[in-house]
Structure formats: C-alpha cells, structure tokens
Structure 1
C-alpha cells in the first residue's frame, strides 16, 4: 500500500504571486498616498509608494510597496460613507536589511537604488520571500543601461536565503553618429535586455525548501539590423554560477 501511495505522489509546483500595479490609484482613493504613508513606519515618503493588487486577491485587498521605508504591506480599503479609510494587514519592514546592505557595500552603494520587486516568491510550503533589488544605472551619449540584482529575503526574517542573483537588465548603446547613418540604418542602437525566471522544484523532504532553478532569458538586437534579426538566448544557472547569466554585459 505504501509503495502505491509513493508511486502515486505528484508534486504540484508552486508559483510566485505577482502584484499588478493599479493603473489609476487616485480613482481608488485620491488621498491614498497620505493615508497609506500614515500607516507605514516613519519617516515615510509618499512619493516612494506604489499601489498594487495581488493577483487573485479579494475585492478591496491591495499591497503597497515603499522604497522609503523599504517595506511591503497588505492593506484593505473600507468602502462606505465618509472619507475612505485603509486597514493595515500584515506589514513587513526591510529598512534594517537595506541599511545593513548599504553598510556592508560601503561607498559604492551610494549609487545603487534599493527597491522591492512587486511579487512574493515561494520558499517552502507556507513560506514566502521578497526580492530586494539593487539597481545600478549608467548613462551614455544617446543611450544608457540598468542592471538589477536580487537578494531574496524571507518575509519574517532579516537574512537573505539567496544573494546577488541577476534579476533584470537593459542596455542601449548608440551606433549612429551622423545624419546619413540615422537616415540609412535600420536600427541605430545595439540593444539588449534580460530577465530572470525561477522554477520551483520538489523539496528533498516534506517541509524542506523548494528546489529553486534559475533560467536567464536575454534578447539581443544588433545595430544596423531589422527587428527580425533580434535573438533570444536561454541559459540555466545556479546561485554559485551567476556568471552564466549574460546580464547585458554588465557588472557581475
């Protein structure tokens, strides 16, 4: 009987829970920034807030992401007579993690933007993490680049389980330098973009962490070529082999 049960075991792979940005948050509440900032740890910058809907959430349920303080909160709006009010559900403050990260990074961290990705990532059954992003931007003449790495930090802990994972990138380098080139070229920039995909495999034992499997997708569109010349590569890597990710040629 046990053998039959084991043979019939099927692992249902979990998935990340994305947050969809509310396109017109003022239509939900014209004063949502001030109201939600009052519920978050202080000091709070209203302009650093983003309002989201967890995909599949009940009506009235939202998530707010903040860069200052670095926090994610689950909130609910109460509809009815009088001014709209918000109820704070679960609050997860990562400000201390960001401060420690900047301290460990030294002066170089002053040029790095720290933010939260709008999603929750499954660590184990009933356990979730956020992606604390560190983004470096570069400006070029007629172009620019952005490179983001992620530390995956459990919601209720202060230590990352995975650090420095390539998360996303984009790069555009000008390749036309005269009016004639701009008129004749099919494409006047070398462009590349990349993004992380995560698959969640079966844990080694019940209650153990899921087996995270990373895939890097990178698109390349060379200058002076039509759009159909763009290519996409897909590479698998592990936490110890992040250099396999193309990362748009950026810092690893």
Structure 2
C-alpha cells in the first residue's frame, strides 16, 4: 500500500483532533495600553471620570488606558483611590466632550480586607496592574498589587505581590503571588572603589510569567502555571557576568520564587 506524503501524515491527526474539538487554544492576558497624552483626548478627563467612579475619588490616582484592539472611543480607567477598573466610552461632538460608563468593577472592599485581616504586606501600596488575566472561558481577573519599597544608603528595593481577583469582585483566585521585584545594594564605599570597580552595586530583578493550560473540564478554570524569571548582577563584575534563572512554582510553593530576597 502506498504511504501518504509526510505532510499528510502530520495534517491528518491534527484534522481529526480539530473535528473532535480536542485542540486547546491557549488564551493570553489582555494588556491595557497606557494613553501617553490623555489631555489630548480631553483636557478635563480626570475630573469627568472621577465623577463616574465611587467616592471619594482622587483624580491624581487615575490612569487612562486603551484595551488592545478596542473600538474607537473605548477606554479603560484604572484608579488606585478608589481601587477600581472602569470601562468607559468617550464621545466628542462639535460643542462638548462626554464620557459614558459602560462597566465598573470596584475592588475597594478587597483592598480593605487585605489590611483588616493582616494578609497584606506591611506598609504596602495597593494598585492595579494594567491587564486582564483569563480565568476561564469568558471569565477574567485583575491583579491587585501590593508593593513595598525599601530605601538603603546608595540603593533600594521594591517588592510586589499580586492577588488575582475575578472581575465580579468575588474571592481571589490566587493570592500572595510574587509579581515583580528589584533590589540594588551598594558595594563601593570609597572614591577609589568607585573609580576601579566595574560595577558598584549588587543588583537583582525578577518578574512573573503565567501560562494558561487546558482545564480538566470545559466548565472549569484554566490551569494556571507560574514561572519566575530572576536576574542577578553581582558587584565588581561586568554586565556579561549577570545571570538569569527560570523557576516554575505553584500557588502553594511561592517560596521557590527568589523574589530578590524580599519578604515572603
């Protein structure tokens, strides 16, 4: 019997899987792109959008974004005070500018609960990451970030953890997940060292990556898989000496993430 060409040997099983509905198309996070010059959209956008959000609202805590691939006039607003995500539509006419609130997701109660039950990091600044994360088919979450900053003589550090909270503002799907970090510690203490050293600080930085695997059942959440990338550049060494490590971890094994040596 004549064998089919190699290309058909590959295509046939794939076609069978597609017809059977067994091929899983991995979803991806949806970034919100910052509007670099929001005043060019509306010089009074802060005051007008604050009026649409829960009160009290701090106009200076607002950020204006465009959902990637959104229709003309569609925007997203991230607010740190109150902690909220708003989907809005901007309309411009010959004699006026107006904003319409399409959807509002208020996470203020979640931020307050973090402080009340003591699960939040001490002295943490709470904010929202500019992205939507896929939880399941048609379900999305935001990352509520807690950031702690430390100041050192000649250096400093920042450590950020995330709680991934569904847009319906229910209980977080994942909490206390290392999200990003950076740390710089001075290693030169004399004028001579500063002149002779190739690098006068110990530096490290880290960030989270998320892959979304196929759920066990169609009606269940995606299988989130966490990866931590961390770079280390030791003092007194050239940039070529910097190293990067990649570690996989689960929600119950966050200690595997280096987190720049910061609080866990």
TM-score range, shorter chain: over 0.9
Q: CA deviation at 1:61?
A: 1.1
In structure 1, the gaps of 5 or more residues are: none
Question: 1:161: Cα distance to partner?
Answer: 1.1
Q: Distance in 1 between matches of 2:83 and 2:114?
A: 12
Q: Work out whether 1:29 is the aligned partner of 2:55.
A: no
2:65 to 52, 55, 62: 52
Q: Deviations over 1:114-164 (max 9, x none)?
A: 111111000000000011111111110011101011111100033111110
Q: Residues 19 and 92 of structure 1: is their aligned pair in 2 closer, same or farther, counting only changes over 3 Å? A: same
User: Hey, what's the Cα distance between the residues in 1 that align with 2:29 and 2:105?
Assistant: 18
RMSD: 1.6
Distance 1:122 1:4, change over 3 A: closer
- In the TM superposition, 1:1-252 aligns within 5 A as 9-105=22-118, 111-252=123-264
Q: Is the 8 A contact 2:105 2:169 kept in 1?
A: no
Could you state the TM-score of these two structures normalised by the residue count of structure 2? 0.91
Contact persistence 2:106–2:169 (CA under 8 A): no
Q: Is the 8 A contact 1:94 1:158 kept in 2?
A: no
TM-superposed CA distance for 1:83, in Å, is 2.8
**Number of residue equivalences:** 249
Higher CA-based Rg: 2
